[in-house]
Chain A
Amino acid sequence: MTDSVPDANQAQSRVIEQIVELQREFYFENKGKDTERRRRLRDIIERATSGENS
């Protein structure tokens, strides 16, 4: 139980890293492609939550 909170925090930090990396990629190279960026953000969120529901 005591390990689960830091684990969840670490898992969230990894998801944040992926999201920021995605923002960086679009900030420099794909400006104006909001729909595509949000679709890829949903992919990240769905991957992050799929394990818990499998």
Chain B
Amino acid sequence: MWLQQIILGDFRCFFGEHSIELSQNPEKNVTLIHAENGVGKTTLLNALLWCFYGETTAKFEKRDDLVNYDALAAGRRHAYVEVLFEHGDKRYRARRYTRGGSTEREFTIMRIDDGHHQTLDNPDTFINTVIPKGMAGHFLFDGEHAEVFLGEDNRGSIRRAVQDILGCSLIKTAIADLSETATYYRKQMPASKASATMDAISSRIDALTTQIQTAVATREGLLGDIEVIDQQVADIEDKLRNSAGAAQLQTRRDKAVGELARSRKRESDAQGDLLKCLGDNGRFLVSTRITEVAMDHLDQEETKGKIPSPYNEEFVTDLLEMGVCICGTELKSGTHSYELVASHLQKAANATLRSRIGKVRAQLSQLKAERGKAPGRLDTAHQRLADARQDISRHEADLAEISEALAGINFDEIAERETKRNELRKLANAKRVQVGDMQSRIERAEGEKAVSERDLRKLADEDAGARIFMKRYTLCETLKGRLEHELVDEEKAARSVLRRSITAILEKTSRKAFRLQMTEDYGISLVNQAGTQLPKSSGENQLLGLAFTAALVEFARVRQNADDYRLLRGTVAPLVLDSPFGQLDEDYRMTTAEYVPQMAGQVVLMVSKSQASGGVMDALQGRIGEEYVLVRHNRDARGDRALEVRQFNGKDVETALFDAPFDGSEFVRVTR
């Protein structure tokens, strides 16, 4: 989709009809809108959302109050937003009126063919194929969007964002429907002789399901709390790092924390090695006595000629066939001599027996040889574990000493910060224990639920009336499980793509060496070389929010022709960025401004005066195709207020007008 024009009619702060043309030049793909707070930046962003989907963002105040007050005073009752856009080589006009504002439908989309307008039958369906609603919020980006990904509930937000761009809506509703339908069938089991027991089991399953849901919610809440606490600890450590009196100790702590983590990894590896070593060598160690006795026995019996047996099977058979014993006695079948010689066959050694004895001897010899090496191997594994544990103790003692030293520095709030840090860490650890407890409860309840389901299935199998409902219930549960599994796999692949994409963007835009961490449960953070998380408030993290958005936009583009029936296709859409530079310092603003035009094919960038600093404007030079200023009209008299005049591309623009005939905003085009 490429936006061509947005027209606002009596919509919120826009009195009468106002329009804005957007740049469609791929080389100059940025439409820059200068606006101070409260002039209508958020309104423009919400006008787009409302036009396409009939909804505004949750933070848009007075969401049902869309008609401009002066328009109402002038007797007009309705607002509208019209968007002209291009999609797949065709031009379209989308228009939405507030309820009752049109003689036709509130929302229409017309295709414009050679000047003729053809109204589409299903505008909602069409707009969802252009930009699925779930994805739209990631293209229409208000300033706080980046922080949503870094806020306290960021894991959930990040997961939802990944799922939105992945187009998982169909799978998600299918899973929810299957879950609901499974319960429906379970409760449909008819009354029968076993029904009382089945009812009881069914109720137990309901109770366990509730227990699991509650425990999962508590666990997620605790994890969220831990994330917030960890962030507070990281913020304190950052302050200590930047405080002259504590910097050295904090740097020492960063190093010790990194070394402690490495030592713990070594401890875990050494424990694994030790177990493997015991598994591999245990038999050599415990078989010492058996090996010795067996070898001695073999040797003795061989010396005596008992092993292998002194009689060879082939030799005895030959004598019987020849009919003559070695002493010359005739061996005739049925005679006593014949029976006597033949009886030796029962204990005669044959080739198989000799081979077996050979193998036993070889194995005993190997056991003997390995037995000599085993204690050495075990000692080495023990030593590695002991070394790792010794290192852990050393680093822990070092960390305790550092903490004590910091807590003793009574200036520049260092002691208070260190005390607070330790309290927070204690609190986080207590919550981690609670997380473990919740996890055990979940596992126990899941185990019990599985047993109850098995019991129910067994009872239903024995009951002809219930059998069919049990089959349907089982099918729903099986299909739900399969879809959940597939969703996890898709998300895993998506995470991997996003991780690569974000890392590449950060490499282009950041000047410090830090790494992106994205865990399986969508914890996303930046860590420095010492492995310490950077504070959420840092410029680097604001950059991370932008990089994440850029990665989502890119992922949606890559998926625009995706051919998976379970997923909605991705899309190419304009990116509307409202005040994206927030807390970035001047250098980061410049680097980010250089990157913004590359974030999407078409970019609408809204900035305040403080954000559109010289560096930002220099970085955007040559990429701006259209430029506007949002001017505020006020009915009030100017009074003592100073004249606000700004210069844009050589044009003087008064950004706030007084004694105006209406209260509202107006676009003034200042394109070079």
Contacts and interface: CB of A to CB of B under 8 A. Distances in A.
Contacts of B177: 19, 23, 37-38, 41
Nearest to A11: B475
Interface stretch (B6-14, B121-129, B241-249, B636-644): B121-129
Interface string A17-32: 1011101101111010
A3 interface: no
Contacts of B154: none
Main secondary structure of the interface of A (DSSP, over half): helix
Main secondary structure of the interface of B (DSSP, over half): helix
B189 to A, nearest CB: 14
A10 to B, nearest CB: 12
B171 A28 contact: no
A4 B668 CA distance: 71
A20 B186 CA distance: 23
Nearest to B486: A16
Contacts of A46: 472
Contact of B124 (A12, A31, A37, A48): A31
Nearest to B170: A23
A37 B472 CA distance: 17
Contacts of A53: 467-468, 471
Interface string B471-495: 1100110110011000000000000
Contacts of B231: none
Given A19-B174, A20-B170, A28-B122, A38 B482 contact: no
Given A12-B482, A20-B566, A27-B128, A38 B180 contact: yes
Contacts of A15: 475, 479
B471 A52 contact: yes
A45 B476 CA distance: 7
Interface string B348-382: 00000000000000000000000000000000000
A35 B311 CA distance: 88
A24 B475 CA distance: 21
Contacts of B475: 12, 15, 45, 48-49
Contacts of A26: 173
A39 to B, nearest CB: 10
Given A16-B482, A28-B125, A29-B125, A45 B171 contact: no
Most chain A beta carbons < 10 A, residue from B124, B184, B471: B471
Contact of A45 (B128, B467, B472): B472
A49 B468 contact: yes
A53 B178 CA distance: 21
B169 interface: yes
B565 interface: yes
Nearest to B169: A27
Most chain A beta carbons < 10 A, residue from B177, B181, B476, B478: B177
Nearest to A38: B177
Given A28-B124, A49-B472, A12 B181 contact: no
Contacts of B483: 16
Interface string B506-546: 00000000000000000000000000000000000000000
Contacts of B568: 27
Interface of B: 122, 124-125, 128-129, 169-171, 173-174, 177-178, 180-181, 184-185, 467-468, 471-472, 475-476, 478-479, 482-483, 565-566, 568
25 contacts: A16-B174, A16-B482, A17-B565, A19-B479, A20-B170, A20-B171, A20-B566, A23-B170, A23-B177, A24-B170, A27-B128, A27-B170, A27-B173, A27-B568, A28-B124, A29-B122, A29-B125, A31-B124, A41-B178, A45-B181, A45-B185, A45-B476, A48-B475, A49-B468, A49-B472
Instruction: List the 5 closest pairs (A to B, CB-CB), nearest first.
Output: A28-B125, A23-B170, A49-B471, A23-B174, A23-B173
